[in-house]
């Protein structure tokens, strides 16, 4: 039988070496032992797969941009080569997402008890995230299906978090951050995105005295990202030809990128997520 602690130690080692595929494989094996994950194990799993999928998402965005430019050139051979490479990256990304979603459905969410609200919200948020990543590269009916699945997971997590978690809890805040990014970037619903982000931020501000000392740094960082996204999104609705607005957007994008990198969490496009 595989030793659980050895697998966890291997995951820690792989993280230090920045070998995230190895880290993900180790934590997948831990999850498949079909026992509840500790907070540390849960975070190791999340960080591992976030980096694995993040590399593919970044590659996909670069190649998609190149594909658009190549299409304008009219070089058929180059167009076909770039298209084939984009599709290869898409398949890798989809495989990673399906891997995570399978672990969530078959082990992690299923094994949460009725009172394990924090774990349930954490895993449902992950489910929403990975369906969202699929939505970024999907088209047509397939996209509609994964968008619906993403919203369903986010919505369920959101309801549980509102009922059972403090507004300042970093998992609740992180959920609100990513759910609002989903509305803005996937659903193209800026009003809903801003409402969700503003409500989460205002609720947390109103209860700052409940901030847990252990999670103070995480909570305040996510609150800052919520605020910055709100500033960015509302500036998008202003006149983009105004140099001041353009400069503000560039500054926020660069600032958010650095902060998101600190917590090894990066979301698609210009919006920042946890």
Per residue in 124-173, pLDDT (tens digit) is 999 999 999 999 999 999 999 999 999 999 999 999 999 999 999 999 99
Residue 180 has a CB neighbour count (10 Å cut-off) of 29
In this model, does residue 263 exceed pLDDT 70?
no
CA-CA distance, 27 to 148, in Å (whole number)?
28
pLDDT digits (tens, 9 = 90+) for 36-48: 999 999 999 999 9
What whole-number distance in Å separates Cα of residue 44 and Cα of residue 47?
5
Q: How far apart are CA 212 and CA 222, in angstroms?
A: 14
pLDDT at 189: 97
- Backbone φ, ψ for residue 19 (5° rounding): -105, 80
The answer to whether 127 touches 104, Cβ cutoff 8 Å, is yes
Mean pLDDT of 209-235: 91
Question: For 76-92, what is the mean pLDDT?
Answer: 96
**Widest Cα–Cα separation across the chain:** 64
For 103, residues 6+ apart whose C-beta sits below 8 A from its C-beta are: 28, 31, 32, 45
Number of neighbours of residue 170 by Cβ within 10 angstroms: 24
Whole-number Å distance between alpha carbons of 166 and 170: 9
Measured N-to-C along each axis, helices 170-181 and 190-206 cross at an angle, to the nearest 10 degrees, of 160
- Rounded mean pLDDT of the chain? 89
pLDDT beyond 80 at 241:
no
Q: What percentage of the chain reaches a pLDDT higher than 70? A: 85
* Cα(65)–Cα(71) distance, integer angstroms: 10
Tokens (6 digits) for 135: 């939505």
Domains of the chain (ranges plus CATH)? 1-111 (1.20.190.20), 157-274 (1.20.190.20)
Global confidence as pTM: 0.87
Q: Residue 13's pLDDT band (boundaries 50, 70, 90)?
A: very high
> Can you spell out the DSSP letters for 105-142?
IIIITTT--TT-HHHHHHHHHHHHHHHHHHHHH--HHH
Confidence of residue 74 (pLDDT cuts 50, 70, 90): confident
Identify the CA nearest to 253 among candidates 263, 264, 237, 267: 267
């Amino acid at each position: 039988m595989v030793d659980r602690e050895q697998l966890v130690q291997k995951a820690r080692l792989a993280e230090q070496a920045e070998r995230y595929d190895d880290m993900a494989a180790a934590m997948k094996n831990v999850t498949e032992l079909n026992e509840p994950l500790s907070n540390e194990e849960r975070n190791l799993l999340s960080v591992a797969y976030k980096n694995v999928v993040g590399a593919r998402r970044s590659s996909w965005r670069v190649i998609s941009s190149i594909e658009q430019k190549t299409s304008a050139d009219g070089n058929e051979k180059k167009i076909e080569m770039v298209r084939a490479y984009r599709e290869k990256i898409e398949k890798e990304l989809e495989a990673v997402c399906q891997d995570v979603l399978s672990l969530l459905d078959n082990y992690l969410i299923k094994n949460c008890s009725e009172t394990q609200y924090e774990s349930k919200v954490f895993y449902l948020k992950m489910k929403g995230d990975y369906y969202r990543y699929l939505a970024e590269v999907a088209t047509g009916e397939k996209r509609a299906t994964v968008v619906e699945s993403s919203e369903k997971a986010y919505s369920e997590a959101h309801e549980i978090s509102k009922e059972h978690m403090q507004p300042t809890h970093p998992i609740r805040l992180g959920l609100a951050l990513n759910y609002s990014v989903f509305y803005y970037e996937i659903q193209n619903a800026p009003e809903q995105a801003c409402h969700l982000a503003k409500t989460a931020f205002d609720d947390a501000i109103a209860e700052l005295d409940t901030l847990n000392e252990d999670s103070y740094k995480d909570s305040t960082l996510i609150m800052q990202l919520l605020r910055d996204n709100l500033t960015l999104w509302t500036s998008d609705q202003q006149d983009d030809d105004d140099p001041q607005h353009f400069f503000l957007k560039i500054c926020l994008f660069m600032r958010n990128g650095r902060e998101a990198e600190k917590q090894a969490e990066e979301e698609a496009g210009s919006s920042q997520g946890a």
